Amino acid sequence: MTKKEANRLILKIRDEMYEEIAWYIWNHCHDEEMAKDILQEIFLEVCRNAEKLAVHECYRGWVYKTAKYKLMKMKALDSEQKKR
Q: For 29-45, what is the mean pLDDT? A: 93
Question: Domain span at residue 74?
Answer: 3-83
- Give the model's pLDDT for residue 65: 97
From its phi and psi, is residue 30 left (phi > 0), alpha (psi between -120 and 50) or beta?
A: left
The pTM (predicted TM-score) of the whole model is 0.85
| Residue 79 pLDDT > 80 | no
Residue 20 has pLDDT above 90, yes or no: yes
The reported pLDDT for the residue numbered 41 is 95
Domains: count for the chain: 1
Q: What is the rounded distance in angstroms from the CA atom of residue 84 to the CA atom of residue 78?
A: 10
The whole-angstrom separation of Cα 33 and Cα 15 is 21
Nearest to 45 by CA among 13, 77, 72, 76: 13
Query: What span, in angstroms and rounded, lies between the C-alpha atoms of 81 and 16?
Result: 34
Average pLDDT, integer, range 43-52: 95
